[in-house]
Structure 1
Amino acid sequence: MSNPLKFKDKNRSQFFPTVRKRVDAYFVENALSTHANRAMWAKSSFFLIGYATLYGLILSNQFGLWTMLGLAIVLGMFAAFIGFNVSHDGLHGSFSGRSWVNRLMGNSFYILGANPYIWKITHNIVHHTYTNIPGHDEDIELAPGLVRLDSQEDLRPWHRYQQWYTFPLYALASLSWVLRKDFLKFFKSKIGHHDNSSHPRAEYIKLFVSKTIYYICFLVLPYVILDLTWWQLVIGFVLMHVAEGLVLGLVFQLAHAVEGTDFPIPDERGDIQSAWAVHQMHTTANFAPDSAMAAFLCGGLNRQIEHHLFPKVCHIHYPAISKIVKETAHEFGLPYLENRSFGSALVSHFRLLRTLGQVESTKPGEHTILPLTQRVPEPSL
């Protein structure tokens, strides 16, 4: 049974038709493809070649323990950057107009130990449709019971400290993904309220074969080839995933869990009383929009607003279309949420976690985010 939640656009908002028409016109007038350009191919090659090179250097057994540990940490970061810059666009079908190219790029997820098939369900279908809606978007369920982002969840004594212990949990995200999360999601009957009970037989084979190959490449081969004890190997493997998890966790959370983003609760009929695109403007935020480094490393995910409105457009074009989106949002009286730097977004995320760790449950139909005047003071970071 599919998710019954519906977006009720009673006001007949013209925001999305207008912004879509203007963005389409931008590509036509400039004779541009919405897919990857040379710069996109260049940086994708950089991250893929860099990842292979780092892995090869580690297996060369030509370095000392501390050097190999450093290489493993950088390898974990490159894994996250491949996820952002290559896999993500491929899985959204925005990398190329050719489906086989998108499949190839999306399948780069396998070399990171992740499953692209289950990701497309949890992210493309569920998260992009039901963004920040408690009980529907499982991406905001960081650690059920431990981290509170749902205003209707019972407030527990430990939640008052969640702004401190949530960040270390991000470090475990990649490790959990590789060892546990994909299996758990694959065999769940529902993801949010999405029916997940039936999968093609080929996907069962791909899941177990790809995981086995990954474990062989990153646990068995290094143990056989390198002059390492088992516990030294485990430390390197864990720290590689700690680095990857921190990068992944922070980038994704700074786009949806900062001050100003909404966590709307469906009404008594299970509906959201706004247009889908309007909902995206209330639940999504950008960070470091003027940073060339953020754009290069984060695969456009620092411009999450543009990504949620136009997931079929390659992220290399987000800086250009962001001007159109921002102007149109202001024209229609809609929020365009952004933190000017990575640091300010990080502090905002911290404050939001602290606020939600102290605020009692709200009723259906109420908003999670407190007015600015009621928020807790800014922490000294």
Structure 2
Amino acid sequence: MPRPAPSVRDGFRPTRPRDPDGVAATSTYTALARTVREAGLLRRAHGYYAWTLGALGVALGGIATGFVLLGDSWLQLLIAAALGLVLTQFAFVAHEASHRQVFESGPRNDCLGRLLANVVVGISYTWWMSKHNRHHANPNKMGKDPDIENDTIAFTEDGVRQHRGVKRWINRYQGWLFFPLLTLEGVNLHVTSVRSLLAGGPDTLRTRLRELGTIALRLAAYVAVLFWALPPGLAFSFLGVQLAVFGVYMGASFAPNHKGMAVIPADSRLDFLSKQVLTSRNIRGGRVMNVLMGGLNFQIEHHLFPSMPRPHLIRTAEIVREHCATVGMPYTETSLAQSYLIVVAYLNRVGLAARDPFDCPQYRLMR
């Protein structure tokens, strides 16, 4: 079994690694960034993204063709699953556009991101940008990272103690329930993004209304086509399978990257290099995994260089791994299966706070 990740403790202050010359690691990021830049790894990869979007467009067209040809058949559920996979891949590219990885121009990236997120996937690009940028600024930091905010799943013991009723019961077994609950994450992403637009946000009212209108039109057209072409039972099943596959694929791609890594107390101050490396985990698998996870498998490099195009992450990982070894900083990478075991073990460990300390199986047997 993999070793448990560091837990939160009062007064957490990680020691600052030093290179052989005694220079604090915080001052070595500049040299690392210079090496990466001089290697040309921050240059845009227009051809890669053109090929990726073209392949996804062909896949989407094939799914639409299969949908029409199959008609009233339960084999449509295979089409629904394929659609969930392809929409997740489009979401990956929207994520990359939000980080300015596709084009040099910010407005062009935003235009592509809004098209893919709002029109193709059906979630709010504005909401995603705001939430994800806050995560990048303070990964795994309590009170700062929205990805570890208290929800149905609690990522800290304090979060568990705040829950009552059904949520408290879920927390008792949340490690084992995590992946089954991801089947609902597709619905949650759609609902939360729309709710955020209705509640207001950093963008103008006009921008939010335009996004709301686009998303509403996209979702309405999608549901209308399903119920026009398929019997009600099959249409509901198609929608359920597609959203479940989308939610599981998204969650299973994002969860391994930080869950189970060190959670940083709110009052801690870390240099940029330590903050990004110590809270992130890479997933082995090379180019195949890079496609399957949309570049999220190189989470350390993605956090150190958010605007770096996906195909350059592989070479950059070699440079960053060597740099971390030089300054004595832990660099975490595991297989995908190991990462899931770590996530489950971590969530179960946190969930122990929800259990009655006198709820001991042996004690119950002795009574």
Amino acid at match of 1:320: R
State the match for 1:231 in structure 2: 233
State the match for 1:3 in structure 2: none
The 5 A counterparts of 1:12-51 are 13-27=26-40, 34-51=43-60
Matched, 1:351 2:362: no
Query: In the alignment, which of 318, 324, 328 is matched to residue 323 of structure 1?
Result: 318
Contact 2:172 2:354 in 1 (8 A): no
State the match for 1:210 in structure 2: 214
The 5 A counterparts of 1:143-154 are 144=151, 146-154=152-160
State the match for 1:265 in structure 2: 265
Q: TM-score, normalised by structure 2?
A: 0.82
State the match for 2:254 in structure 1: 252
Amino acid at match of 1:263: V
- Structure 1 residue 360, shift from structure 2 partner: 8.4
In the alignment, structure 2 segments of 5+ residues that lack a partner are: 1-12, 17-23, 162-167, 356-367
1:4-33: CA deviation from partner (whole Å, max 9, x where unpaired) = xxx999967213212111111111xxxx66
- Structure 1 residue 56, shift from structure 2 partner: 4.1
Aligned residues: 328
Matched, 1:312 2:314: no
| Separation of aligned partners in 2, 1:64 and 1:311 | 45
- Structure 1 residue 153, shift from structure 2 partner: 2.6
- Structure 1 residue 160, shift from structure 2 partner: 2.7
Contact 1:9 1:275 in 2 (8 A): no
Contact 2:135 2:145 in 1 (8 A): yes
Contact 2:160 2:171 in 1 (8 A): no
Query: In the alignment, which of 110, 117, 121 is matched to residue 103 of structure 1?
Result: 110
Amino acid at match of 1:219: V
State the match for 2:189 in structure 1: 177
- Structure 1 residue 187, shift from structure 2 partner: 4.4
The 5 A counterparts of 1:60-209 are 60-84=68-92, 86-107=93-114, 108-110=116-118, 111-124=120-133, 126-141=134-149, 144=151, 146-155=152-161, 156=168, 158-178=170-190, 180-188=191-199, 196=201, 198-209=202-213
| Separation of aligned partners in 2, 1:132 and 1:319 | 24
Contact 1:307 1:318 in 2 (8 A): yes
Q: State the SS of the aligned residue for 2:333.
A: strand
Q: Which structure: greater helix fraction?
A: 2
State the match for 2:286 in structure 1: 291
**RMSD after superposition:** 2.5
| Separation of aligned partners in 2, 1:81 and 1:12 | 36
Q: State the SS of the aligned residue for 1:257.
A: coil
Q: TM-score, normalised by structure 1?
A: 0.79
Contact 1:286 1:305 in 2 (8 A): yes
- Structure 1 residue 211, shift from structure 2 partner: 1.8
In the alignment, structure 1 segments of 5+ residues that lack a partner are: 1-6, 190-195, 362-381
Q: State the SS of the aligned residue for 2:104.
A: coil
